[in-house]
Amino acid sequence: MMTNDSRGYSYAFVKEVQAANPESLGVRLGLYCIEHNIRINVVADKLGVSRHTIYSWFRGKFQPRSEQAAKIQEFLGVAPSDTPAV
């Protein structure tokens, strides 16, 4: 029985992200990364934060700070006005 998908995310983690509040910028980032096969370590390196921080954002446990939110919006290719407040 496989516990991870091809991106290295566990199936339980993917379900947790999918069940989190999609209005959260971090959760939106997580859904985007899962959908586009982007690994956590790539996102962490690109945004200059730890993998643990990325996991927390994906789950909706913590919200990115404003300077991090701007980097996420750039990563996602959305304008700040397209993104709900964090």
Query: What pLDDT does 86 receive?
Result: 44
Residue 6: pLDDT band with limits 50, 70, 90 = low
86 is a domain residue: no
Residue 83 has pLDDT above 60, yes or no: no
**Residue 23, C-beta contacts closer than 8 angstroms, at least 6 positions apart:** 84
Domain of 15, in residue numbers? 11-77
Q: Say whether pTM exceeds 0.85.
A: no
From residue 20, give the alpha-carbon distance in Å to each of 2, 8, 42.
23, 19, 22
Domain CATH for 48: 1.10.260
Query: What pLDDT does 1 receive?
Result: 44
> What's the domain count of the chain?
1
The string of pLDDT tens digits covering residues 14-54 is 999 999 999 999 999 999 999 998 999 999 999 999 999 99
